[in-house]
Structure 1
């Protein structure tokens, strides 16, 4: 379902972590009377405010925010649910007379909004629960061997330790009798098309970006990230859940368990962040060529140009 053409086009802001895109979104939302809608796959999780650098309560008080911290870490949020939730958020924004400003670093989420998702049928909860239980009982490698026997194409695409995607492929073929690869070839329906949106890609010199990301993680530690990890550990969640793979979670859990020092954990988390930045930049080079680039180093001086552009 596409957005009505008589409404102001949504504003999309992407970019690597720590690039300053959230600050740009806040400035734009204040300027246009907008609502900020999250497009970060980890900022949806309730228990991870600090470690995912969610907007602060003070920032949330300045303009309305949607789809932040509303999913428990025990849940596995998906791109399909994200598109449905954004559709609801857009309807609410329209009713309230607010212009949507969608911001985040998850490229797949923007791709889902602009190109749609393949119409894979919903999975019977009993089938889903069966394969999740099998994953816990048998492990990823054994399930990967079973997938290879039932769906060679998907098995060839997936690493033997990629539990979440292996389970997904198995539940789809059991539910539908067709490979997930077949479903993925069916084009989806975009929520809105590129022509009916304003798209910004925030960029920054790699060295400066790494320095900002390192400083941000130091602030996370000072703000209580270790306590956040301790609370997460108390939930005893499946380590394959998406929230458990958020940057910084694994090394900080090792500190909580007495297996590492806070200094070593910080070094590991910063290395994870640099690897993630590299993946984000690779994605944007391949998929966001037509987006208007905004250099974060000159953000303040070009605000007027940005406001004119929107």
Structure 2
């Protein structure tokens, strides 16, 4: 058996049947497993990782190579400009478009990545948030820089006390999100969140896999992979990204390795120091991912240890 069956749109419901979801920390080997499963079944792969959706950073986000995308169709990789603050809701809408235009119909579909909120939205649904006009978004980002998080938290307390009481006064990003939703729609973000959407996959027929690698093995993989990224042109990508002159608070600018290599190129640190800092940041990120998957993914997720990957083909 291929370990993967045909999937597509369930009539009248727009849900992907027999999907395979593969989660795991960075450098855990999840993309290789997804490629193997999709290739065996003549399927497709859908990116479920927030950073791999951005363009420019091909190497630094470990996106699939040209040879891999030629072997199996890949969707939602590198389709978002770094100037965009891509969100879980935007990703879910992009997946919905793939379902509606037939890109996933009649073929095995493998969702793979390291962004836990994407998997949760895919399997459980997510509330449909309003579109935020650029002017509104820019206004509240400016206010955050000018006034600071605590003053905006007091404003939110006056305008939407129920939401404000759920947020720390120092949590600028979430405070701004609540204010911009209120500004753009006239409704509390809590109202929008209460109206949960529907899952895009059929949970009963889906397979849920999460890779839990050995910690020491993962550290070795992370360090070796970052060295390979440098050999493949990571520095050139950071130069291209820097040349765009983007807001440093944008998600793409926070990709691991960007700030560290920018500092080295600006003479603020040596390259060996920058490389070591990037490797440390990657290890810390992988640990946070593993912790999230361990505590947030339910019993339906099959936990794979090193060497277990072959068993999913049975």
Q: TM-score, normalised by structure 2?
A: 0.87
Helix, strand or coil at the partner of 1:174: helix
Is 1:47 paired with 2:53?
A: no
Inter-CA distance 254–12: structure 2 relative to 1 (3 Å threshold): same
Give the corresponding residue for 1:294: 304
2:112 to 89, 103, 110: 103
Which consecutive unaligned segments of at least 5 residues does structure 2 have? 1-7
Contact 2:89 2:128 in 1 (8 A): no
1:204 to 198, 213, 218: 213
Query: Would you tell me which structure has more helix in proportion to its own residues?
Result: 1
Give the corresponding residue for 1:306: 312
Contact 1:45 1:68 in 2 (8 A): yes
Question: How far apart in 2 are the matches of 1:105 and 1:270?
Answer: 17
Between the two proteins, the alignment pairs up a number of residues equal to 302
Q: Matches of residues 183-202 of structure 1 in structure 2 within 5 Å?
A: 183-202=192-211
Tell me the alpha carbon deviations over residues 101-123 of structure 1, each in whole angstroms, 9 at most, x when there is no partner: 11000000000011111233333
Give the corresponding residue for 1:274: 283
Question: How far apart in 1 are the matches of 2:141 and 2:73?
Answer: 36
Inter-CA distance 11–24: structure 2 relative to 1 (3 Å threshold): same
Question: How far apart in 1 are the matches of 2:162 and 2:236?
Answer: 43
Q: Matches of residues 103-142 of structure 1 in structure 2 within 5 Å?
A: 103-140=112-149, 142=151
Contact 1:119 1:186 in 2 (8 A): yes
Contact 2:45 2:73 in 1 (8 A): yes
Question: How far apart in 2 are the matches of 1:173 and 1:251?
Answer: 36
Helix, strand or coil at the partner of 2:52: coil
Helix, strand or coil at the partner of 2:300: coil
Tell me the alpha carbon deviations over residues 55-106 of structure 1, each in whole angstroms, 9 at most, x when there is no partner: 11111111111000011101111111111111222343344x3221110000
Which consecutive unaligned segments of at least 5 residues does structure 1 have? none
Contact 1:37 1:89 in 2 (8 A): no
Question: How far apart in 2 are the matches of 1:140 and 1:253?
Answer: 27
Question: How far apart in 1 are the matches of 2:127 and 2:246?
Answer: 30
Inter-CA distance 153–246: structure 2 relative to 1 (3 Å threshold): farther
Inter-CA distance 265–155: structure 2 relative to 1 (3 Å threshold): farther
- Measured on the aligned residues, the alpha-carbon RMSD in Å equals 2.4
Give the corresponding residue for 1:75: 84
Inter-CA distance 7–230: structure 2 relative to 1 (3 Å threshold): closer
Question: How far apart in 2 are the matches of 1:124 and 1:7?
Answer: 31
